[in-house]
Amino acid sequence: MSTKNARTKLSVLALALAGMFATSAGGQTVAKADDTLKKLLSIQVTAWGETADKPVVTATPETFPALKIPVSTATPELVSTSVKPVPQPSPGKDGLEDEIAAMKAENAAVREQLRRMEEGQKILIEQLDRMRRQMDRADAAASGKPALTMADVPGADTTSSSGDAQAVTDPADTSTQAASVKKKQGLPERYQDGIIIWKTPDEAKVPFMLRFNIVTQFRYLNTLDSDKTFTDHLGVERDVQRRNDVTVNRSMFTLSGYIWDKRLQYSLLVWTAAGAASIIVAGSIGWRFNRHVTLTGGYLGIPGSRSLTNTFPYFASTDRTLADNFFRPGFTQGVMASGEITKGLYYNAFLGNSLNTLSISANKIDTNLMGAGSVWWEPLGGYGEPGRSVNMYDDYFAQKKVRIRLGSSFTISREDRFSNLDTSTPENTGVYNSDGINAFQTGAFALGVTVRNATYKMWATDWGFKYNGLAINGQYYARWLNDFDADGPLPLTSTFDHGFELSVGHFVIPKKVMIYGRGSAIFGQFKNPNEFGAGVKWHFLPTERLWLNFELMKVKGSAYNGAFSPYNSGINGWVPMIQSVIAF
């Protein structure tokens, strides 16, 4: 219907133009030609794609006061050149030839005028369609849905004056049209440091964003080379839990964003560890005051070590090192303040329940609160690229400039075993002695004696260096356990353990293949366990968030036992690992 209307109107336009300019060619005055041009501006035009039931836009000075159409003004010079006077016919053969020549000249003048008017009509239609698209997009922005116009259809000619333009109704072209709309209207990419499920425009009455992130770690682990037993510092022989398995070691997804106000942030986390056969559902609520202060309450990592300051899973090796797992705190419910003190100087300050309450019910958590804080300085610019991988250990992006990081952390907590004394195995799994025995396990410090409470203090300092694909990272730890509350006499009143970790990695093929070496050691109250290893990390797609790891390490007397780590108490031997990680 719209095509038929367009054709009809253009036909009327052509007849009107022919009649008007025939009169002009026959000797109209300059004023008459000027009236003809004014009539053009009042012609009703239907833009491509309109349906018959929509009102026809009339181009008048009132409706488009700012519209400028580059149509030549009727001047004496124009009339003199385009509208030539018809010579008086002369009798005879010569007179007939003169009359024919005059008619040809007149026809040429009319065709020239029609050509000029056609150009003016094209420009007018372009302006109308452009303004209509702008209005459609403004309405779409208010409703949150993209507007589709003829200009957004691949191959559509919006400058053509033909009335054959068709409205877009073919369902088979939906995906192509949507992609074209996204490209032409500048709509944001769906992937923005995660998958944006929904995001309202900035001017929406209720601001809202929902982002989806996922981390999955698939691992093969083999510790069969280890001895089957080990002996603790009291001379008790204990079994080593050896492994040879393939597991989805960790898998977690996060839904996060903001609502009502961009400063009001929320998140929902589902975390699973196949090795521990556990599922954790946790959430948080935060308020971002400014870049200096953001307060967040919920289930959070305690910032007592560099590996707990938003670095997971971007470690140099397959996982946290033996020393880091031994010294660091864990995860609990609490309140975190974080931000940038000044340019390049960052902090985290935390107050929570205990060192690790991932699987502890609220009725077992004691009344003692713990505290932790971390501060780090990046004086030569950002140590990592912005985004979720900002604190990664590797130099994947290989900037040709030196970057360094200097940090320090401190944690203090009064710890409880979270289990009755008649249970030899405690539910608190956050503190181990250097011989690999849980500090709250019966017989950890003296045969037959169980510690109910102890005070944990840990200080750590870390450093890092990056340049053009080379990354060197290290951390030193010092931990004190004292103020023991036990059900029997103990041979000591406190313990002190310290140690370090160190890793060196270099991309031999930029943004694709990195080789690395790493090691860590614990100089403990009872034993001195250590490890060293080397591996290859392959980013088989052009992203820092997907890779394969191949690693071989040698462990001497593991002092830590964790179901989702590669370590079990007492391991002593070679350990090969292969794993794949996706984190977006």
Q: Return the beta strands (E) in 21-96 as ranges.
A: 44-45, 57-58
Residue 79 in this model has a pLDDT that exceeds 90: no
Residue 223 per-residue DSSP state:
-
Region 70-98: mean pLDDT is 50
In the prediction, which pLDDT does 563 show? 82
Residue 349 in this model has a pLDDT that exceeds 70: yes
Q: Which residues contact 94 (CB under 8 A, 6 or more apart)?
A: none
Q: Which residue has the tokens 């004292």?
A: 482
Residue type (1 letter), 321: T
Q: What span, in angstroms and rounded, lies between the C-alpha atoms of 271 and 298?
A: 14
Region 150-154: mean pLDDT is 37
Residue 210 in this model has a pLDDT that exceeds 70: yes
Three-state secondary structure call for residue 572: strand
In the prediction, which pLDDT does 85 show? 47
- Reported residue count of the chain is 584
The structure tokens listed for 117 are 């008017």
DSSP 263-329: EEEEEEEEEEETTTTEEEEEEEEEEE-SSS-EEEEEEEE--SSGGGSS-TT--SSSS--HHHHHH--
Higher per-residue pLDDT: 452 or 99: 452
Higher per-residue pLDDT: 111 or 283: 283
Residue type (1 letter), 479: R
pLDDT tens-digit readout, 104-138: 888 888 888 888 888 888 888 887 777 777 776 66
The count of other CB atoms within 10 Å of the CB of residue 328 is: 28
Residue 538 per-residue DSSP state:
E
In the prediction, which pLDDT does 139 show? 59
Q: Degrees (nearest 5) of the Cα angle 95, 101, 106?
A: 125
Lowest mean pLDDT among 132-136, 240-244, 301-305, 327-331: 132-136
Residue 32 in this model has a pLDDT that exceeds 70: no
Question: What confidence category does residue 574 fall into, taking pLDDT thresholds of 50, 70 and 90?
Answer: very high
The structure tokens listed for 352 are 């929570």
Region 67-82: mean pLDDT is 42
Query: Residue ranges per domain, the chain?
Result: 2-185, 195-583
Beta-ladder partners of 553? 533, 575
Residue 165 in this model has a pLDDT that exceeds 70: no
The structure tokens listed for 336 are 């975190």
- C-alpha closest to that of 475 among 544, 522, 411: 522
pLDDT tens-digit readout, 443-461: 999 999 999 999 999 999 9
**Cβ atoms of residues 243 and 223 within 8 Å:** yes
Across 66-80, 150-164, 437-451, the highest mean pLDDT is recorded for 437-451
Instruction: Identify the sign of the CA torsion 205, 129, 185, 53.
Output: positive
Q: Which residues of 96-135 are buried (b: 16+ CB within 10 A; e: fewer)?
A: eebeeebeebbeebbeebeebbeebbeebbebbbeebbee
Question: What confidence category does residue 142 fall into, taking pLDDT thresholds of 50, 70 and 90?
Answer: low
Q: Which residues of 41-65 are buried (b: 16+ CB within 10 A; e: fewer)?
A: bebebbbbbbeeeeeebebeeeebe
Largest CA distance in the chain: 143
In the prediction, which pLDDT does 68 show? 42
In the prediction, which pLDDT does 136 show? 67
Residue 36 in this model has a pLDDT that exceeds 60: no
- C-alpha closest to that of 57 among 104, 6, 8, 14: 6
Residue 570 in this model has a pLDDT that exceeds 70: yes
Beta-ladder partners of 340? 346
Q: Which residue has the tokens 């705190």?
A: 329
Question: What confidence category does residue 94 fall into, taking pLDDT thresholds of 50, 70 and 90?
Answer: low
Is domain 195-583 given the CATH code 2.40.160.10 in the classification? yes
Beta-ladder partners of 334? 298, 352
Residue 492 per-residue DSSP state:
-
The structure tokens listed for 485 are 């509350």
Radius of gyration of the chain (CA): 39
DSSP 522-556: EE-SS---EEEEEEEEE--SSSTTEEEEEEEEEEE
Question: What confidence category does residue 67 fall into, taking pLDDT thresholds of 50, 70 and 90?
Answer: very low
Residue 196 in this model has a pLDDT that exceeds 90: yes
Residue 52 in this model has a pLDDT that exceeds 50: no
Lowest mean pLDDT among 145-154, 298-307, 415-424: 145-154
Residue 332 in this model has a pLDDT that exceeds 90: yes
Q: What span, in angstroms and rounded, lies between the C-alpha atoms of 213 and 190?
A: 12
pLDDT tens-digit readout, 503-527: 999 999 999 999 999 999 999 999 9
pLDDT tens-digit readout, 299-317: 999 999 999 999 999 999 9
Average pLDDT, the chain: 81
Q: Which residue has the tokens 């349906």?
A: 51
**Cβ atoms of residues 114 and 18 within 8 Å:** yes
